[in-house]
Structure 1
Amino acid sequence: MLLSNHKKSLLLFVQYEDSRLKKFFPYALLKYWVKVALCSSAILTIRFVDIIEGQKLNYNYRKKKYATNILTFVYSKKNKPIHADIVLCVDVLQFEVKKYKKIIEEHVAHLIIHGILHAQGYCHKTTIEANKMKKNEIRLLKILNISNPYNNH
């Protein structure tokens, strides 16, 4: 189980490409979502970017020529605390919210949890890994009273 009773510390930095995002995704809310999924101490940065920066990052690190909704950069896989950056592309998020008729706060909470799971070593390269990750995402989102996001596709 990801949630544990041991004391974990979190050093969280948040970077907004547009300061208006602070109103919708305040630091305290982001920190709460992170803590729900975090099983050990961590140093994390959550960065909201526009489509141009999202495309550049996705190309430079994954050789994909498009922006994606979330990228997770993990700097310490075995060392504690976990050290990672989670990058969310606002333009892609807005597109997905409209396309899939999602609530943006719920979608961002889901992606934050997804990124935190990646930072803790989860991946979705195989069907077995993907199913394990989805199961954990659904369980953690339920703690936040957010329904299964995979039922909407």
Structure 2
Amino acid sequence: MPAALPTLSLSLQFADARHRDQLPRHTVIRCIRHALAAPAEMTVRIVDAEEGQALNREYRGKDYATNVLTFDYAQEPVVMADLVLCAPVVAKEARELRIPVAEHYAHLLVHGTLHAQGWDHETSEEDAEAMEAHETEIMLGLGLKDPYRKRRGA
């Protein structure tokens, strides 16, 4: 019998509602819970390009909207974090990747949730490879495709 997934308290906010139908609450919970190693209290906020750019500029010093921002506040005993996903960036990337928007959101929810737990892909190539492998495992466990398959030439 598979291990029980960690509990999750979720606030789901749509400042930009263009993909509300792509992100039903139960799907967001499922994606995040599969990436969690501990109970969590999280907020997921879907924003427009203006808010995404403002947050990225203020907190990362980068003056553009990015796909997902993770604000982690605690990792133990309960993961506490905010994930901010920028709807127009997610849509653009999904088109470029030729994948459904919902599938790209699933990947970014998993990716952001791993960041909230201390996973990092920017410090070393080894860390990046480990994080990508873990993301792939989670995505396959969700019944979705390997998000890095195109880069690997598969």
The TM-score with structure 1 as length reference comes to: 0.91
Could you tell me which of 47, 57, 60 is aligned with 1:62?
60
| Structure 1 residue runs without a partner (length 5+) | none
State the Cα deviation string for residues 5-28 of structure 1 (Å, max 9, x = none). 367321111001134533221111
Could you tell me how far apart the structure 1 residues matched to 2:71 and 2:7 are? 19
Asked if 1:107 is matched to 2:104, the reply is yes
CA distance in structure 2 between the aligned counterparts of 1:123 and 1:7, rounded to whole angstroms = 22
Q: 2:144 matched to which residue of 1?
A: 146
**Residue in structure 1 matched with residue 6 of structure 2 by the alignment:** 8
Asked if residue 30 in structure 1 is aligned to residue 52 in structure 2, the reply is: no
| Preserved contact between residue 110 and residue 135 of structure 2 (Cα < 8 Å) | yes
Structure 1, residues 32-58: CA drift from partner, whole Å, max 9, x if none?
Answer: 111111111100000000000000000
Q: Is the 8 A contact 2:19 2:87 kept in 1?
A: no
Rounded to whole Å, the distance in 1 between the matches of 2:7 and 2:37 is 10
Is the Cα contact below 8 Å between 2:6 and 2:33 reproduced in 1? no
Aligned to 2:73: 75
Aligned residues: 149
Q: Which moved more, 1:111-120 or 1:17-26?
A: 17-26
* Matched AA of 2:149: N
Which whole-Å CA distance do the structure 1 matches of 2:77 and 2:20 have between them? 29
Which residue number corresponds to residue 51 of structure 1? 49
Query: Matched residues in 2 for 1:7 and 1:25: separation?
Result: 20
Percent of aligned pairs with the same residue?
37
Q: Bigger CA drift: 23-32 or 60-69?
A: 23-32
User: What TM-score comes out, normalization by structure 2 length?
Assistant: 0.91
Q: Which whole-Å CA distance do the structure 2 matches of 1:12 and 1:95 have between them?
A: 26
Q: What's the offset of the Cα at 1:92?
A: 0.3
